[in-house]
């Protein structure tokens, strides 16, 4: 028996086990992938009828958190299994799956920028608003190819012991090395970085876009000797833990963890926080078909979003969730009115058009 015939026979056995319920879709895909046959899958395999929804997020603690916040409630209501894949739904991975006709994810936890970018190549499908209730999310959080599943912010985080208990008033203080001596940290990835620089330089929020990159670089250049750049959330935390920096532009979820660890010595200000809307997108030819929109609609219920807030710090997109938050919840959610007083909303459409060029220029500059 040739290798190809053997592989086909092994694949048929795996398919029979899948149809009889002995293995789930994830196990089937792993088996076919090991046989080099995953790319050859056709819709006739019957995935659209499979009683499973597969999500892809960015891994780590978010895998269990998404399961508890979104997966378990949907399974209880519908009987449909939810699997969370923490592989990371990069735009390149989604493009590769769609082009190879080997899509394994039903919903991806990207951002509105990714949704717009992928829509241009036909890699994601429109959100079915006959099934998904867009009134469950706030203004500007629903779009043709993505709908907000949570929000997060870049915040000005600081070591209160090193600032002698004085909280920075905004991004201008990030540049004041006389008032607040010490190293700072910023992210290597451009979104939410130059906005903070321009706000510090006095640009009114309504005039931030299009970004004046030359002005931002001019403002940032004198600070470069005092900057350490991070490229992963865990690294941003460690810089503070190790005492290497006095303040930084980091995700509020990481800042919240630092505050808990240090009895509020490491903390942050909501002043001029930079808001991002994360979003569900649906890859073209997703295996579960339209059933994924039932899941997305369920994930917008306030109870699950509050669970995610308490587990990870991600803020709700459903306005009704705000009415259900405790005083402690409100301290860590960027969604609440008191934390959004001077909030700046990062524009995903601008980055969908300009991110590649901006990122290259930014990396060249900081290197």
Burial 157-172 (b: 16+ CB within 10 A, else e): bbbbebbeeeebeebe
* Residues 264, 167 within the same domain: yes
* Same domain for 90 and 27: yes
- Any idea which residue has 């699997």 for tokens? 83
Provide CB contacts within 8 A for 332, sequence distance 6+: 252, 256, 309, 313
165 and 77 housed in the same domain? no
Strands (E), 128-246: 147-159, 184-187, 227-230
Quote the CA–CA distance of 291 and 131 in Å, as a whole number: 9
Domain identity same for 272 and 284 = no
pLDDT given for residue 232 in this prediction: 87
Residue 329 lies in a domain: no
Q: What is the CATH number of the domain that holds 253?
A: 3.40.190.10
Query: What is the pLDDT, as a whole number, of residue 5?
Result: 36
- Whether 255 and 350 map to the same domain: the answer is yes
Same domain, 198 and 88: no
- 85 and 181 in one domain? no
Closest CA to 269 of 342, 176, 186: 342
Q: What is the largest CA-CA distance in the chain?
A: 77
pLDDT at 60: 83
**50's torsion region: left (phi>0), alpha (psi -120 to 50) or beta?**
beta
Placement of tokens 């865990």 in the chain: 234
Residue 223 structural domain: 151-276+336-366
Domain total of the chain:
2
Q: Tell whether 331 is covered by a domain.
A: no
pLDDT (0 to 100) of residue 43: 39
> What is the C-alpha separation between 12 and 23, in angstroms, rounded?
13
Please check whether residue 74 is in contact with residue 295, taking contact to mean a CB–CB distance below 8 angstroms.
yes
Among left, alpha and beta (phi > 0; psi -120 to 50; other), residue 60 is left
What confidence score (pLDDT) does residue 38 get?
44
pLDDT tens, the chain, 367 aa long: 343 333 344 444 555 555 566 666 655 555 554 444 444 343 334 443 457 999 999 888 899 999 999 999 999 999 999 999 999 999 999 999 999 999 999 999 998 999 999 999 999 999 999 999 999 999 999 999 999 999 999 999 999 999 999 999 999 999 999 999 999 999 999 999 999 999 999 999 999 999 999 999 999 999 999 999 999 888 999 999 999 999 999 999 999 999 999 999 999 999 999 999 999 999 999 999 999 999 999 999 999 999 999 999 999 999 999 999 999 999 999 999 999 999 999 999 999 999 999 999 999 999 8
Task: Give the per-residue pLDDT at 34.
Answer: 47
On whether both 32 and 135 belong to a single domain, the answer is yes
230 and 129 within one domain = no
Residue 36: the pLDDT is 44
Give the contacts of 251 (CB within 8 A, at least 6 positions apart): 152, 153, 154, 155, 233, 236
């Amino acid at each position: 028996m040739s290798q190809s015939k053997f592989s086909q026979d092994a694949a048929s056995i795996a398919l029979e086990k899948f149809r009889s319920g002995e293995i789930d879709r994830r196990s089937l895909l792993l088996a076919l992938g090991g046989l080099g046959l995953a790319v050859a899958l056709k819709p006739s395999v019957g995935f659209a009828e499979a009683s499973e929804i597969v999500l892809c997020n960015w891994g780590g603690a978010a895998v269990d958190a998404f399961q508890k916040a979104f997966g378990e409630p949907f399974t209880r209501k519908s009987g449909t299994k939810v699997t969370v894949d923490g592989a990371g739904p990069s735009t390149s991975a989604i493009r590769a799956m769609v082009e190879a006709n080997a899509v394994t994810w039903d919903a991806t936890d990207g951002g509105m920028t990714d949704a717009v970018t992928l829509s241009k190549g036909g890699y994601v499908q429109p959100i079915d608003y006959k099934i998904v209730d867009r009134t469950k999310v706030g203004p500007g959080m629903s779009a043709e190819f993505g709908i907000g599943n949570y929000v997060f912010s870049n915040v000005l985080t600081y070591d209160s012991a090193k600032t002698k208990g004085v909280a920075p008033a905004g991004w201008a203080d990030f540049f004041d090395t006389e008032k607040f001596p010490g190293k700072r940290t910023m992210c290597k990835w451009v979104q939410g970085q130059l906005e903070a620089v321009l706000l510090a330089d006095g640009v009114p929020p309504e005039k931030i876009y299009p970004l004046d990159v030359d002005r931002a670089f001019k403002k940032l250049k004198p600070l470069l000797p005092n900057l350490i750049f991070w490229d992963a959330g865990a690294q941003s935390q460690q810089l503070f833990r190790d005492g290497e920096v006095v303040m930084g532009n980091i995700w509020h979820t990481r800042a919240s963890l630092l505050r808990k660890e240090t009895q509020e010595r490491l903390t942050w200000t909501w002043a001029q926080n930079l808001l991002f809307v994360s979003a569900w997108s649906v890859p073209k030819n997703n295996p579960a078909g339209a059933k994924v929109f039932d899941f997305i609609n369920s994930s917008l219920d306030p109870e699950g979003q509050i669970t995610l807030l308490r587990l990870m710090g991600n803020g709700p997109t459903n306005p009704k969730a705000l009415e259900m938050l405790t005083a402690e919840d409100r301290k860590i959610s960027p969604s609440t009115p008191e934390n959004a007083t001077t909030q700046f909303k990062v524009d995903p459409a601008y980055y969908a058009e300009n991110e590649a060029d901006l990122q290259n220029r930014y990396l060249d500059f900081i290197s």
